């Protein structure tokens, strides 16, 4: 899909999935101060954007990983998106919990995952990469061959790129922070000064605002 990064960024802004507040930063669980908050779960409530994301995921997986046998979603944000993509691809779907259940079977991976299965992972948001790569590690421990990951959105942090490289995992995304800022600026949602602040945060997210 041509220019999916900007189209998706525009859609995220339209439905309020992305909030930009450079003058009133959000505080993340990590303690980082952030001028942006991204909630891709809102996509599920918008039929047009939901379909765009599902089609884009299916197209990207078919293009990059034609040998994929199973689609895996990272819980909880990517479960629905991954299932929708798997449905379009006609492939089985599983999802990966952050940690094993503390009751019942104690499973961390839900669904049927044969030994040696070729898996592509669907994620909704990549920030530092830790939780995304934890899902990859769980799949590998279960005997799967992880081909790569496709996510809706990434902030593009250097630390995430480093972690993915060290883990030997290819990451592709439908949209990204740069496309979002370009779209927000073009639509007049943020001015040039605010755009500068947003780019500064991207360069030093841990130290920004302190």
Q: Catalogue all structural domains in the chain, each as residue range(s) with its CATH number.
A: 4-203 (3.40.50.2020)
pLDDT of res. 31: 84
User: Tokens 């990517």 appear where?
Assistant: 78
Mean pLDDT of 142-146: 97
Mean pLDDT of 106-112: 91
pLDDT digits (tens, 9 = 90+) for 7-44: 999 999 999 999 888 888 999 877 888 999 999 999 99
| Pairwise CA distance, residues 85 & 94, whole Å | 12
Alpha helix stretches (DSSP H) within 155-191: 158-167, 177-186
Structure-block tokens of residue 64: 């990059």
Angle, CA 165 vertex, CA 113 and CA 66 arms, to 5°: 45
Q: State phi, psi for 74 to the nearest 5 degrees.
A: -90, 125
């Amino acid at each position: 899909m041509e220019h999916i990064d900007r189209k998706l960024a525009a859609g995220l802004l339209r439905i309020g999935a992305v909030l930009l507040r450079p003058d009133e930063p959000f505080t993340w669980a990590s303690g980082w101060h952030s001028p942006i908050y991204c909630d891709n779960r809102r996509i599920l409530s918008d039929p047009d954007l939901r379909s765009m994301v599902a089609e884009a995921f299916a197209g990207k997986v078919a293009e990059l990983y034609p040998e994929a046998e199973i689609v895996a979603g990272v819980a909880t944000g990517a479960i629905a998106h991954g299932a929708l993509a798997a449905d379009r691809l006609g492939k089985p779907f599983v999802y990966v919990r952050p940690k094993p259940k503390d009751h019942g079977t104690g499973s961390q991976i839900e669904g049927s995952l044969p030994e040696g299965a070729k898996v592509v992972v669907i994620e909704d948001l990549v920030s530092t990469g830790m939780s995304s790569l934890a899902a990859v590690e769980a799949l590998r421990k279960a005997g799967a061959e992880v081909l790569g990951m496709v996510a809706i959105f990434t902030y593009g942090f250097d630390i995430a790129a480093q972690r993915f490289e060290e883990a030997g995992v290819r990451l592709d995304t439908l949209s990204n922070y740069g496309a979002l800022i370009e779209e927000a600026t073009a639509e007049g949602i943020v001015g040039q000064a605010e755009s500068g602040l947003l780019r500064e945060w991207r360069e030093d997210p841990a130290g920004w605002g302190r």
